[in-house]
């Protein structure tokens, strides 16, 4: 998509747009949406009340944020700039796009659904300086919005926990299920250019900004895989025990694991103990973090219903 036509004026001491911005959309389709509660251990939160405290979180809670967004909610701007070589200074990554570099952006889909304003895009790539002759250089810059949480679906073979009923262990075979890949996006902002965005550690917001204060991996940014723990130890086990269970590796365990079999079944059963009576989802793998563009990071966590 191209917006307007620009001509560089005679002041070559200032970076000026050389032509219209090109706006594109990096994702192929809309995000999908799961309505299920998510079971998570609140010890991932700062200052957890208990070491192991599994709870269900309904859609919209900070521990289960996955708002639906259309494909075009995230966009990328590519635009060329020219300036006299002696006045060229590269822009800092995270610098916001100036809407004055483009004609007005409608900011809506044809249906009227609101899209972000151009100033929500931040610099993610400063291109090479190209000599245009006459002491003028050209730079192509790329700006991108920080995408909202997105979900994708993918078939995946999972390992299921075993059941321990009245002291007898019942192993369960791996099973192929439809999983939900949740992509959450954060921005590393060491120079605090984006101070209007709350930090990840801000207790009053679902912050997406990281900086020198928070570090690259503050507590809670990695969503842990669902784990089962022995009732009186912090040892991870492979079996969800009922109230009369025993555990051969630790003779002191004679009662339910954390979580217990009763609790686990209530989460995973349709019509059970969740906010909308659907089977809940658990994280079956710990989050991974990769670079998306520039200083924008993408956290990916795989969730699934594991009956």
The Cα-based distances of 112 to 22, 28, 106 in angstroms read: 22, 20, 10
Calculate mean pLDDT across residues 54-60: 87
CA atoms of 286 and 42, how far apart (whole Å): 15
Give pLDDT tens digits for 154-179.
Answer: 999 988 888 888 767 788 889 999 99
Is residue 253 within 8 A of residue 230, CB to CB? The reply is: yes
What are the structure tokens assigned to 51, written together?
A: 């070491």
List residues bridging with 126 in a β-sheet: 141
The Cα-based distances of 307 to 161, 177, 254, 269, 297 in angstroms read: 10, 10, 25, 7, 32
Quote the pLDDT of residue 176: 93
The full set of domain ranges for the chain reads 16-28+70-144, 62-69+148-304
Is residue 155 within 8 A of residue 176, CB to CB? The reply is: yes
The helix (H) or strand (E) run that includes residue 303 is: strand 296-304
Give pLDDT tens digits for 244-272.
Answer: 666 555 445 567 788 888 888 888 877 66
Q: DSSP states of 200-217 as a string? A: TT-TTS---EE-TTT-SS
Is residue 273 within 8 A of residue 262, CB to CB? The reply is: no
Comparing 231 with 17, the larger pLDDT belongs to 17
* C-alpha 81 chain-centroid distance: 32
Is the predicted pLDDT of residue 5 greater than 80, yes or no? no
CA atoms of 181 and 166, how far apart (whole Å): 36
Is the predicted pLDDT of residue 40 greater than 60, yes or no? yes
Comparing 189 with 249, the larger pLDDT belongs to 189
What residues contact 134, with CB distance under 8 A and at least 6 apart?
Answer: none
The helix (H) or strand (E) run that includes residue 179 is: strand 175-188
Give pLDDT tens digits for 116-138.
Answer: 999 999 999 999 989 888 889 99
Is residue 219 within 8 A of residue 210, CB to CB? The reply is: no
CA atoms of 115 and 126, how far apart (whole Å): 25
Average pLDDT, the chain: 85
Residue 128's Cβ-count burial label (10 Å; 0-12, 13-18, 19+) is exposed
Is the predicted pLDDT of residue 301 greater than 90, yes or no? yes
* C-alpha 241 chain-centroid distance: 33
Is the predicted pLDDT of residue 46 greater than 60, yes or no? no
Give pLDDT tens digits for 213-240.
Answer: 988 888 888 888 998 887 666 677 788 8
CA atoms of 96 and 77, how far apart (whole Å): 11
Quote the pLDDT of residue 233: 64
Give pLDDT tens digits for 66-119.
Answer: 878 899 999 999 999 999 988 889 999 999 999 999 977 888 999 999 999 999
């Amino acid at each position: 998509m191209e917006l307007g036509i620009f001509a560089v004026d005679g002041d070559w001491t200032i970076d000026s747009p050389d032509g219209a911005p090109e706006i594109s959309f990096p994702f192929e389709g809309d995000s999908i949406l799961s309505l299920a509660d998510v079971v998570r251990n609140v010890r991932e939160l700062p200052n957890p009340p208990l070491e192991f405290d599994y709870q269900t979180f309904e859609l919209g809670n900070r521990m289960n944020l996955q708002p639906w967004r259309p494909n075009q909610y995230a966009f990328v701007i590519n635009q060329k700039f020219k300036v006299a070589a002696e006045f060229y200074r590269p822009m800092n990554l995270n610098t916001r796009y100036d809407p004055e570099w483009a004609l007005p952006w409608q900011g809506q889909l044809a249906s009227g659904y609101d899209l972000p304003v151009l100033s929500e895009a931040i610099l993610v790539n400063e291109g090479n300086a190209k000599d245009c002759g006459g002491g003028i250089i050209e730079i192509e810059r790329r700006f991108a919005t920080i995408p909202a949480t997105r979900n994708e679906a993918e078939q995946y073979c999972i390992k299921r926990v075993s059941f321990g009923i009245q002291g007898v262990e019942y192993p369960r075979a791996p099973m192929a299920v439809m999983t939900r890949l949740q992509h959450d996006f954060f921005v590393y902002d060491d120079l605090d250019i984006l101070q209007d965005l709350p930090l990840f550690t801000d207790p009053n917001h679902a912050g997406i900004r990281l900086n020198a204060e928070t570090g690259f991996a503050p507590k809670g940014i990695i969503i842990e895989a669902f784990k089962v723990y022995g009732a009186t130890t912090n040892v991870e086990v492979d079996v969800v025990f009922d109230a009369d269970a025993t555990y051969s590796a630790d003779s002191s365990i004679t009662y339910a694991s954390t979580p217990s079999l009763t609790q686990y079944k209530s989460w995973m059963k349709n019509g059970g103990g969740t906010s909308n009576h659907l089977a809940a989802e658990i994280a079956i793998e710990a989050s991974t973090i990769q670079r998306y563009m520039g200083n924008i990071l993408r956290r990916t966590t795989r969730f699934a219903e594991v009956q």
